[in-house]
Amino acid sequence: MVNIGKNKDNAVFTLQSYARDFNYQYLRQNTSNANSGRQAYLDIPRMNFVINGKNINNNLINKLYIENENLIKPSPPESDISTDYRPFAKAIFSEMFKSAHAPIPNKAILEEFVTNCNQSGYEFSYGLLLKELFQKHGLFTQLNDGQRTIYITIRSPDSIRVESKNPVISITDMENGKKICNMSYSLGFALESNMNKIEYKNGQISLTLPKNLKKYKVDDDTQQSRKNLFDIIVGFFREMVNKLFGSNNINITEKLNTTLQDVHSPVNDINNNLIR
């Protein structure tokens, strides 16, 4: 474990990108589970929510599930889904906002939440990055369910701020089973409803990872060579930003003091991995 401090070798880099307006299609789930509300039904108890600074605990969620289970109905015969969970999920979200003494979002925002505020939607916007690391470089990423959190700030029913934070994502080399490092990720955006039209604004993506990844080399199947893992992750991050924001512009800053306490230094394999 690295003690992050004033030692420049133990510094971290933060990759950030910002967009005033962006296309939400990359975040929007177009699956039967998402559209029926079933994904929300499955994921809400697995997720951590903080609304206007108040933690929504699982005891409340369990109570709401019992009280509202009668809202889960068979879909009409003409529907392509067998069970409609959307009224149930909307009721759960509404009661969560009530419990935080916060305004309840309007119908359009609640509908958007039912479709996308789940573990395969807002919580998994970094899916492209994890998929590329695994498929192209044999690197397995482990998510810490206990620390993943959706932070919601709401002042009026027509506008809401959402931040999905995952402070610890570990990277492991599948070939030798060794943990390489941890990184942290966050996505934030404003969700606004104007005449029932949903708009995503002021998006920001952030990824923090150890500077020492510049010294860690992995195979690059596309070029039949070995590249440092930092540059590989930056490349995948640009692709992800381009899909979400329509631009691959990112800002990279170095930090010597960080709140990312669980960063591990790269595996110190002189013969195989360190750049010479």
C-alpha to C-alpha distances, 66 to 33, 49, 88, 92, 113, nearest whole angstrom = 21, 19, 11, 10, 21
| Residues 94-106: tens digit of each pLDDT | 999 999 999 999 9
Q: What is the pLDDT of residue 79?
A: 62
Q: What is the pLDDT of residue 18?
A: 92
Q: What is the pLDDT of residue 270?
A: 27
Q: What is the pLDDT of residue 145?
A: 55
Interhelix angle 86-99/107-116, nearest 10 degrees: 110
Q: Give which of 38, 91, 105 is closest to 63, Cα–Cα.
A: 91
DSSP for 88-128, written as a single string: HHHHHHHHHHHHTT-PPP-HHHHHHHHHHSSTTTGGGTTHH
Q: How far apart are CA 73 and CA 94, in angstroms?
A: 18
Residues of the chain where predicted confidence (pLDDT) is lower than 50: 1-6, 259, 261-276
